[in-house]
Amino acid sequence: MNQQTLFKIIDKTSVAMKILMIIMICLLTTYYAKAEEPPRLQIGGELLTDQRMFIEQENDWAWNENRLNLRLEKRTERIRFFGNVWLRHLGEPTLTGSHELLIRDNVQPWNLNLREAYFEVREFLSDDIDLKIGRQIINWGTADYFNPTNMLNPMDLEDALDFSRKNGALALNVNWFINSEWSFQGVYLPHFSPANLPIGPFAGVFHSQIELPQGLQLANYRDVLELPRNNVSEGATIGFRLKGFVLGTDISLSYIYGREHLPLADLVMLSPADQPGKVNIDGNLIFPRYHMAGADMAGTIGNVGVWAEAAVFFPEREVIMTTDFSQLHGFPQGTPMFMRDSVVLSQKPYMRYIIGADYTFGNGIYLNVQYLHGFFNERGRGNQNDYLLLAVERNFLGDRLLVRPIAGGLGIADWQNPEENYSVFFTPKIIFRGIDNLELTLGAYVFGGKGNSIFTKFSELDMITFSARVSF
């Protein structure tokens, strides 16, 4: 229908009908004009303040973080752009002299962290292939919070109590949607990035303990990181995943050829220090290669949600640590004067896995139980501890208040002598969500235990916490 025909129809109708038709034409014109406009940039994110105070250390502040989390997204017909940036004030100033007061960054420490920045092309070369290129976080696994197969991105351990956080990495990520229920994913990360370690009072919790001969004490420690070459093979990581949906259950099989993101020592040299009875230690650290085969599932049995996830690691080679005592001349009798070799990573395969279930009772109480074999820093056959994780929570006031009175777990490092090799951790929370886009959280962290477990290293770091989060 052309314009002349349209206006002839308008002339033959009543005034009211003419007005109605003109309004309809204007609305349709506006609609199609807007539809032809390029999509606008979507901006979202959150403001967070996270404060933690030690209970037993004269109420010292344990953590002071104020974060602007900014997410940017723009979509066209087939392309999606996404970016995520953290702008933060983190920690307290560490000043040693008045001259440092001249530099604002020393007085007000802050940092800018580019978490993700990538573009995604839908229907790339084919209707069933999507391509994603750029700095991205790739999450694998279906278990709750702890995912043994999620090993592509390096861990972000800056916050020692957030074990699920990952750093973004440059990646080529291809998804092939075979049909409505199955997909195949291939990932290539050309550069190697190690995990960053905790800061502040939590620094050192993931460091390996070095046993010194009786009568010797550590004066100074330093090491050299032996990073892999930054080329297409030495520093690269590749991964594949087949994901599907069978009989109401999500399943996947995965494979990764990558590197450890936490280093291992293959050489330790002891030398005399200036103080009597004390030694200096120089170490060499490497990032070994491994193959990983993984599988996971998540579904329901009746009204109970269930999940399981397992990863088997095949170290590419055995890692032997050489401890050199040859420079310790004149030290107490019994101090070895030779080199000693010890295996820190066997070439034998080892496994980490988790099994869990959750259920919501008729009175609204939610129960989450998980059994974890092997924390992410427990490497090598026979070095995996066992953890029982438990959470109980309930909503009140029409879901405006969440109370989690029981949260935490129990870890056993040695079942032959559990009373001397255990850890306990208790992390209760109260979360208020009574105002749109606002979340207030009050909680605590309480640790205890004996022996060699990651959580026993937090035994002197009990805290109370408060956080406020506003999303936009």
pLDDT in tens, 236-265: 999 999 999 999 999 999 999 999 999 999
Residue 7: per-residue pLDDT: 41
Dihedrals φ, ψ of 68, to 5°? Answer: -105, 110
Structure token digits, residue 376: 């992410």
pTM of the model: 0.87
* Residue pLDDT, tens place only, 402-426: 999 999 999 999 999 999 999 999 9
* Residues belonging to the chain: 472
432 confidence band (pLDDT: 50, 70, 90): very high
Separation of alpha carbons 75 and 468, rounded Å: 31
DSSP state at residue 204: T
Query: Worst-scoring range by mean pLDDT, 19-28, 183-192, 310-319?
Result: 19-28
Residue 10: its pLDDT value, please? 41
Residue 6 has pLDDT above 70, yes or no: no
CA atoms within 13 A on the CB side of 283: 18
- Provide the token pair at 103: 């530099």
| CB 120, CB 80: distance < 8 Å | yes
Please give the C-alpha separations between residue 458 and each of 70, 204, 405, in angstroms, as whole numbers.
Answer: 32, 11, 21
* Alpha helices (runs of H) in 37-183, residue ranges in sequence order: 104-107
Per residue in 389-407, pLDDT (tens digit) is 999 999 999 999 999 999 9
The amino acid at 297: M
Write the DSSP assignment of 96-131 as a string of letters. SSGGGGG-HHHHS-EEEEEEEEEEEETT-SSTTEEE
pLDDT over 70 percentage in the chain: 90
Q: Reply yes or no on whether the pLDDT at 4 is more than 70.
A: no
Cα 92 to Cα 101: distance, rounded to the nearest angstrom: 13
